[in-house]
Structure 1
Amino acid sequence: MKQNKYDDSSFFAKYSQMPRSIGGLDAAGEWSTFRAMLPELQGKKVLDLGCGFGWHCRYAREQQASYVLGLDLSANMLERAKEMTNDEQIEYRQIAIEEVDLPAGSFDVVLSSLALHYIEDFGAICRSVHAHLAPGGSFVFSVEHPIFTALAAQDWHYDSQGEKQHWPVDGYHFEGPREARFLNDDVLKYHRTVATYINGLLAAGFSITKLSELQPTKEMIESNPAWQEEVRRPMFLLIAASKI
């Protein structure tokens, strides 16, 4: 069975209190970069893999996408998404990302936000997305950066006074599962290198159109000093690709 932490009531309650869960896309620090990497959505059919509360689905419709399908394994996520959505052109379905089987070439844009690092076989996802996209279609996604996922601890090295000294990286080329702590619970993530992300896309028949490691801007740091940490090491990797 695929990992489904979000249907655990305690875990879901904690997730629901996160700033991005309450404030939506504007509370997600990577959103402005992600948004800039999206293609024109007007008149497009959009597929959201791991749609969560449906924030990106609703945004796509605000940009006049013709139809949006949001997929998620979690019943809790989809129930919340449906509660927040009043649009007949947005559909939500409960299914694992690995098990998506839709008509070939049926979407113009496939997007995914911070979901694919929970998937074991990234190459298979690339092939699946490529098949579901129409020619020239776009695939835009964000994941936790491999610098961030290399060690399961996902934490800084501290000195004796508790000050953050550096971000440790070890086992970078040993790809595979990492049992990380998230919201005081054990969560299984999959570490892979930047090269694996890029080569997986290329092997599936994509061309890379944009890559971002989300370097915080001066404005981001001024509005939220916590972003200063992200200058020291990248937390997010965002990639935009096009079906050849």
Structure 2
Amino acid sequence: MAQNKYDDPDFFASYSNMPRSQQGLEAAGEWHVLRTMLPDFKGKTVLDLGCGFGWHCRYAVEQGAASVIGVDLSEKMLKRAQEMTADSRITYQRGSIEGVEYKENQFDIVISSLAFHYIENFAEQCRKTYRWLKPGGSFVFSVEHPIFTSLESQNWIIGPTGERLHWPVDNYQLEGPRNTKWLTGDVTKFHRTFATYMNSLVEAGFQIKKVIEPEPSPEMLNQIPELKDEMRRPMFLMVAAVKP
């Protein structure tokens, strides 16, 4: 069953206070890299899976997209997205990523930001996305890195004086659910290996064009010195692929 943590009032309030929720894409530590992986949106039909507040939907139309569908399971997220959107080219639909269905060859571009680690069957999602894309279409997504999701704790090993000693990796090959704690509650994420991400795309028929494990930008490192620890292990995995 698809999770809907974001409609929990406390969880939603906590998420709404995050910098990326209040300031948008420029406050997202990975945006400076993801932006470089996106294709030309001009005149394109776009699908955003797990659209949240709609930041990427609005970016797509700002770049000239002809139409954008943003999908999210959370009623609260979509309500906020609607309040922030004044463009008829964007349509928001409530539904789970796993449950929505679209026509074959319907979209030029499918994007997803930090959502696929919440779904159980990534291989099936790749097959569906491949069907929905037109020949030559682009599939660009980001997820939490498998090194980040391997352990449920998702936290540093802390030394006796509070210093971060190292990031633990264990049970890496054991794919499946991880019951983690984030913001105000328990959240289930699905760990899968780097190889599973890549092979699921290839087996669905995609050609992988670029894979990036992003680092914080120099500007963010200057603004937030504690981000230097993000250089010690990858937090995100980003992939750009195309349907031949």
Are 2:204 and 1:197 equivalent residues in the alignment? Answer: no
- 1:77 corresponding residue in structure 2: 77
- 1:163 corresponding residue in structure 2: 163
- Identical positions, percent: 58
- 1:48 corresponding residue in structure 2: 48
- 2:97 corresponding residue in structure 1: 97
The change in CA–CA distance for 1:152 and 1:20 in structure 2 (over 3 A counts) is same
- 1:223 corresponding residue in structure 2: 223
Is the 8 Å Cα contact of residues 32 and 217 (structure 2) preserved in structure 1?
no
What TM-score, normalized to structure 1? Answer: 0.98
Q: Displaced runs of 4+ in structure 1, greater than 6 A?
A: none
Counterparts of 1:171 and 1:139, CA distance in 2 = 29
Counterparts of 1:161 and 1:237, CA distance in 2 = 31
Are 2:180 and 1:184 equivalent residues in the alignment? Answer: no
- Provide the secondary structure at the position in 2 that maps to 1:98: coil
Counterparts of 2:224 and 2:210, CA distance in 1 = 26
What TM-score, normalized to structure 2? Answer: 0.98
State the AA in 2 paired with 1:212: I
Structure 1 stretches lacking a partner, 5+ long: none
- For these two proteins, the number of residue pairs brought into alignment is 244
- Provide the secondary structure at the position in 2 that maps to 1:6: helix
Counterparts of 2:21 and 2:219, CA distance in 1 = 23
- 1:117 corresponding residue in structure 2: 117
Q: CA RMSD in A?
A: 0.8
The change in CA–CA distance for 1:29 and 1:46 in structure 2 (over 3 A counts) is same
Counterparts of 1:9 and 1:82, CA distance in 2 = 18
- 2:236 corresponding residue in structure 1: 236
Counterparts of 1:102 and 1:123, CA distance in 2 = 17
State the AA in 1 paired with 2:102: L
Are 2:27 and 1:22 equivalent residues in the alignment? Answer: no
- 2:145 corresponding residue in structure 1: 145
- Provide the secondary structure at the position in 2 that maps to 1:88: coil
State the AA in 1 paired with 2:45: K
State the AA in 2 paired with 1:27: A
Measured after TM superposition, the shift of residue 217 of structure 1 is 4.2
State the AA in 1 paired with 2:135: P
Structure 2 stretches lacking a partner, 5+ long: none
